[in-house]
Amino acid sequence: MKIGVIGAGDFGVLHLEVYNQIKNVEIAWICVRNPEKICGYADKYNCQITNNYNDLLKDPTVEAIGVLTPESVHFEHTIAALEHGKHVLVEKPVSTNVKQVEMIAQKARETGLIVMPGHTCRFINSFARARSYINDNQLKPVSYFARRNIPRERLALHNRTHPVFMALSHDIDLIISYSSCKPKQIFGMQNKTDPELINPDVFWGMIQFEDNSIATLETLWVLPTSGKYVESYMEIATTEEIVHINYPSDSIWIDKAKGRYYPDPSFFERINDEWVGALRNELNYFIRCVESKTMPNIVTIDEAIVGIRIAQLLIRSAEEKRPLLYSEAT
């Protein structure tokens, strides 16, 4: 199967490394704004490089596209790929505008093509095991707590987008996967510790579902530099048991001259010359869905719509300083 990738930034490169190791997958095209910056990729991946994404889309041999660009252009690239008959894996958030995601979902239904949101956390073994444990034992969650805190140093890269979309979208999506109910009420609170920031660096939110279960979410972008990309914890309380998830698990760390380093084999690491972890699991699954012409069910575009509605309402609630009903989503 031939694929094309639009965007080859820090995360896009990880996708390329994984695709390059998946059996029967060939990277045919890479599209970036400045091809001269990745001139060595043509030889490394034996592919063509362009700054015009239409070159990928017009190639009849390309079956699938990875949209790994900034979220502000996800809609443009995803719709164009669908219009050219390509299956799509699009990084999260699919968009920060729910109307755009609804249009993407509609186009996918009209064409019969796959659009899979890149919610990689669903493919981290600990989060996936929690979901199967809850479902297999028919447990009823009554409360969720999710914390996803980030070192301040990453603000320079990510503060272009509100932290609800940049960080909490992972936890919102996971909670959607654990809950069998629709959201009912949303409340958010936020703070900027530095007035020069584009977006807040402290955010708390609450979601009440139709079964009256409650989710509490926290993201802080004020952690000191520690060698960790993220510090995350989730707790799912049911009527009978409580499920706890630490991520990353800190099962391995390395003390270096310049500080401590935490490898994360549960997400993306090279072991015995193979890339392993959640990203490999996710891309393997996407390729299997395309090959078998099967719509994804581990993560769906309709669930992404719910998540983006929640994210928009959390931000709006924090700005308006009042709780909002899910039915108020626009």
Ordered by start, the domain boundaries in the chain are 2-118, 122-271+306-328
pTM (predicted TM-score): 0.94
8 Å CB contact between 49 and 30? yes
Residue corresponding to tokens 């309709």 = 302
Please count the residues of the chain. 330
Q: Which CATH class is domain 122-271+306-328?
A: alpha beta
Q: What is the distance in angstroms between the CA of the first residue and the CA of the last residue of the chain?
A: 39
DSSP state for residue 123 in the 8-state scheme: G
Judged by phi (left if over 0) then psi (alpha if -120 to 50, else beta), residue 303 lies in: alpha
8 Å CB contact between 245 and 126? yes
Residue corresponding to tokens 């981290």 = 124
Among 143, 159, 162, smallest CA distance to 206 is for 143
Torsion sign (Cα): 254, 255, 258, 260? positive
Instruction: Give me the tens of pLDDT residue by residue for the chain, a chain 330 residues long.
Output: 999 999 998 899 999 999 999 999 999 999 999 998 888 999 999 999 999 999 999 999 999 999 999 999 999 999 999 999 999 999 999 999 999 999 999 999 999 999 999 999 999 999 999 999 999 999 999 999 999 998 887 777 777 889 999 999 999 999 999 998 999 999 999 999 988 888 999 999 999 999 999 999 999 998 887 667 788 999 999 999 999 999 987 678 888 888 887 878 888 888 888 888 999 999 999 999 999 999 999 999 999 999 999 999 999 999 999 999 999 998
Between CA 278 and CA 247 the distance in angstroms is 12
Among 7, 160, 1, 111, smallest CA distance to 69 is for 7
- Single-letter code of the amino acid located at 238: T
Between CA 279 and CA 328 the distance in angstroms is 34
Between CA 106 and CA 104 the distance in angstroms is 5
State residue 275's pLDDT score. Answer: 85
| 2-118 fold | Rossmann fold (3.40.50)
Between CA 258 and CA 116 the distance in angstroms is 39
CATH topology match: 2-118 vs 122-271+306-328: no
8 Å CB contact between 29 and 57? no
